[in-house]
Structure 1
Amino acid sequence: MSTAAGPSAVRGDITLQPSYFTSSLYVEPLREDISNLVNLFAERYVETWPPNQPFTLFKRLWSEQGWCWLHFKVLDARAREAFINVTHRLLVERLADGEPPLTRVVVLFALYTFHLSQPATQNPPIYSVGHIAIPIDIYDALLSLPSSLTNPELLPLQPYITYVLKALEEAFHILPRTELRPYKPSILPRELFVTEEHESAVMAALAGSATMSNAGGGVSKKKGRPSRRDKQKKAKDALAALEKYLEKNTTTLAPEPPPSSQSTAAADRLLTTHRMVAHPPNATREQYRAYKAEALGMLDPHGAGPITEHTRGVNAGQEALQRANDAVLARLKMIDEMAAEQGLEVGGEGGEKTGLARVERAVQHLRLSGDPSGSVGILGLLEGAGLDERWEV
């Protein structure tokens, strides 16, 4: 799809595409600003009761909140048309019959002020929009707004609303009813801006919906090589995870008193290391060793020795140990293959001392020896099993 034609900008000038004003970058903040303007006017209106010139109060808030500078957001004619139409639309949507009466009053003031304050200079010429698009159902509800302000607190606003409607009478451009979606685009925001922090969640949600649709009889997407953008995203995620891990598990060693031959500056240098090195889990390690010795004693209670053709039916404990080692190794290989299919880093790609290769060697030693007194397979990893092919307990 080709990019929409844009204005020819002088070097250094900033131009905005019309799609910016229909995106979440503009729509969502403007909706929030409209709500803030309504709430602020309601607070000041109650504080100054009985009201004295409420439209003067509104104009003061309009200027204080910076709305008076809104028309200078963009000056290019093509982008300015989208900017004015979207702003009109977001104001009109708050004029619906379901909104509170005071909200509709404030938004009508804002629509009136924004529309009639468009710059009309000819040098340089600035693009302006002469009509306000409004669905007919909202227009009918707007015409009945003055008669609905019967509450004593809102009754002073009635003549102002009547005057504003009279002033905008020729500006309204009537559209079909709201449920027919007369605007283009029909829904705002049309484009959603996703930050890097939320991109993974959005992609996971999209992948989940795609999986559900495929389960309903659709054709599954064919797997292929990851794009350069996917690789960069994966590298950033891995780096961020590594930084969080280091931040969480790094500790500072207490400086040792320096020998007389070293300078004080060298002694003041802080050394950092993994917290497991600085504070090894001695109690947990000894508890693990005690449980392991108890388990091995139960597997070979009478010292039956290696499994042979004559003792295979006798020493069931050693057979169970071998079956457990083989099952763990098969499970790790299956996980390794599944991770490789998804393009993740796997154990077989990490060099000589990765977990998978080491577990495989440890299980092989047990399979060859068949004797817990010579090898215990994966139960000997703490003592260095699988680091060397000549390893023996």
Structure 2
Amino acid sequence: MSTSPAPTVTRGEITLQPSYFTSSLFVSPLKQDIEHLLHLFAQYYDGTRPFELFKTLWSDQGWPLFHLKVFDARSREAFLNVTLRLFADYISNDTNPLARVAALFGVYTFFFSQPSTSAPSLHSIKHIPLPIDVYHTLLNLPSSLTEPHLLPLQPYATHVLTTLLSAQVFHILPHSSLRPHNPCNLPREYFVEDGVDVATALGLSAGEASSSTAPPLKLEKKKGRPARRDKVKKAKDAVNALDKWLEKNTYTHPSAGPSTEAKTTHTLISHPPAASLAIYKIQKAELLDVLNAGPEHDALVRANEAMLVRLRKIDEMAAEKGLEVGGEGGEMTGLTRVAKAVDELNEGNSRGGILDLVQGAGVTME
């Protein structure tokens, strides 16, 4: 009974984790390299010696050194499985027969070129996981090469396939529709740089990102206390979102001519929400009618006085630190106006006191 591979590096040495080989950092470049190799084979194939051509391209593109990329046994297990899986995907998914044959040559060459006599010895795999539908497609590949320019490929594809079957290298999995691979999708992890939108990093438009056919973009929340980097990133995102919101809702005064500096303000100041304000005044009037019609009026007076005491306390605490709270506008703003509004309520000249600040409570009209 074979055991799972374990880390072989000593403490303090840097090693690539298995998750790296299932991430977009490894899968995406590897797909491009495989597609380039298959494209070269289809481009230079002339009907003679196809496997010799493939070996030449394999060597010229540096694939023989690819096995020396990873030495740790645990990481090497993921590295080998992902590479063979990507080659096998092109056998069933590619529509070009030449590319499918080249992918079969790639599976054969990469599997049987695993180093077995290196010192120290490198971990190798004995089987290639393959869904049963891909396995049947692989078996039918030689017989599908019936066109005249593809007939010379039949004996080579048959020999390579027979060698793989004789060595019993395939580990048959359930149908691809059942997603038998682990992980079921490649890449499983996507690398997204700081400040880049997830949909942009995946090459999706806004509509595709929100559609049901797009891959899930759910980012699970990390456990534990957030790191300093996460806090800084969250703060930057908040500032950027606020800047975008202010830019979207900024209004430029039409009175600002080309010779003067443009004066801008928020759209709610230039275009006050009259409808919302009217509804607020009506609902507040109904509330004050109820409060002033019974014993609840005393509660309204006490609430006003409590709020005034609290504001005075805040003003005292700010003064001790050399700060000023809301006094920049003189009697029109700040604690002075709140105190006048409370006095007006106690004298019977106001219905709501602080609640009437919107209607001008606490402002002396001359």
TM-score interval, smaller chain: 0.5 to 0.7
Q: What is the alpha-carbon distance in structure 1 between the residues aligned to residue 99 and residue 50 of structure 2?
A: 14
- Provide Cα deviations, 1:158-199, integer angstroms capped at 9, x if missing partner: 111011001101212211111111211222222221111325
Name the residue aligned to 1:187.
185
* Match of residue 285, structure 1, among 249, 260, 273: 260
Structure 1 unaligned residues grouped into runs of 5+:
211-220, 242-280, 289-323, 332-356, 369-393
Q: What is the alpha-carbon distance in structure 1 between the residues aligned to residue 180 and residue 108 of structure 2?
A: 22
Computed over aligned residues only, the root mean square deviation of the Cα atoms, in angstroms, reads: 4.1
Name the residue aligned to 1:343.
none
Question: Could you tell me how far 1:123 is from its partner in structure 2?
Answer: 3.0
Q: What is the alpha-carbon distance in structure 2 between the residues aligned to residue 363 and residue 114 of structure 1?
A: 84
With over 3 angstroms needed to count, the CA separation of the structure-2 counterparts of 1:364 and 1:144, relative to structure 1, is same
Q: Residues 134 and 172 of structure 1 are in contact (CA less than 8 Å); yes or no, is this contact kept in structure 2? A: yes
Amino-acid identity (%): 52
Name the residue aligned to 2:30.
30
With over 3 angstroms needed to count, the CA separation of the structure-2 counterparts of 1:180 and 1:361, relative to structure 1, is same
- Provide Cα deviations, 1:309-341, integer angstroms capped at 9, x if missing partner: xxxxxxxxxxxxxxx78959x99xxxxxxxxxx
Name the residue aligned to 1:57.
53
- Provide Cα deviations, 1:46-90, integer angstroms capped at 9, x if missing partner: xxx3x3311111111111111111111111111111111111111
Name the residue aligned to 1:14.
14
SS at match of 1:196: coil
Question: For this pair of structures, how many residues does the alignment match?
Answer: 242
Name the residue aligned to 1:115.
111
Q: What is the alpha-carbon distance in structure 2 between the residues aligned to residue 88 and residue 13 of structure 1?
A: 27
Structure showing greater relative contact order (alpha-carbon pairs closer than 8 Å, 6 or more residues apart): 2
Greater CA drift, 191-200 or 63-72: 191-200
> What TM-score, normalized by structure 2, do the two folds share?
0.56
1:105 maps onto 2:101 in alignment? yes
Amino acid paired to 1:184: N
| Matching of residues 235-314 of structure 1 within 5 Å | 283-285=258-260
Q: What is the alpha-carbon distance in structure 2 between the residues aligned to residue 286 and residue 183 of structure 1?
A: 64
After superposing on structure 2, the runs of 4+ consecutive aligned residues of structure 1 that deviate more than 2 Å are 5-14, 97-100, 199-203, 225-231, 234-241, 281-284, 324-328, 360-365
Q: What is the alpha-carbon distance in structure 2 between the residues aligned to residue 6 and residue 42 of structure 1?
A: 40
Amino acid paired to 1:91: F
Q: What is the alpha-carbon distance in structure 2 between the residues aligned to residue 159 and residue 363 of structure 1?
A: 98
Name the residue aligned to 1:198.
196
Q: Residues 325 and 363 of structure 1 are in contact (CA less than 8 Å); yes or no, is this contact kept in structure 2? A: no
- Provide Cα deviations, 1:14-39, integer angstroms capped at 9, x if missing partner: 31111111111111211121111111
* Match of residue 70, structure 2, among 71, 74, 92: 74
| Matching of residues 74-153 of structure 1 within 5 Å | 74-96=70-92, 99-121=95-117, 123-153=119-149
Q: Residues 6 and 17 of structure 1 are in contact (CA less than 8 Å); yes or no, is this contact kept in structure 2? A: no
Amino acid paired to 1:55: F
Q: Residues 94 and 104 of structure 1 are in contact (CA less than 8 Å); yes or no, is this contact kept in structure 2? A: yes
Q: Residues 8 and 72 of structure 2 are in contact (CA less than 8 Å); yes or no, is this contact kept in structure 1? A: no
Q: Residues 84 and 129 of structure 1 are in contact (CA less than 8 Å); yes or no, is this contact kept in structure 2? A: yes
Q: What is the alpha-carbon distance in structure 2 between the residues aligned to residue 287 and residue 182 of structure 1?
A: 63
Question: Could you tell me how far 1:229 is from its partner in structure 2?
Answer: 3.5
Q: Residues 131 and 171 of structure 1 are in contact (CA less than 8 Å); yes or no, is this contact kept in structure 2? A: yes
Q: What is the alpha-carbon distance in structure 2 between the residues aligned to residue 17 and residue 159 of structure 1?
A: 41
SS at match of 2:172: strand
SS at match of 1:285: coil
| Matching of residues 339-354 of structure 1 within 5 Å | none
- Provide Cα deviations, 1:362-383, integer angstroms capped at 9, x if missing partner: 9959xx9xxxxxxxxxxxxxxx
Amino acid paired to 2:127: H
Q: Residues 51 and 156 of structure 2 are in contact (CA less than 8 Å); yes or no, is this contact kept in structure 1? A: yes
Structure 2 unaligned residues grouped into runs of 5+:
211-220, 242-255, 264-268, 278-325, 338-366
Name the residue aligned to 2:41.
41
With over 3 angstroms needed to count, the CA separation of the structure-2 counterparts of 1:64 and 1:361, relative to structure 1, is farther
Name the residue aligned to 1:218.
none
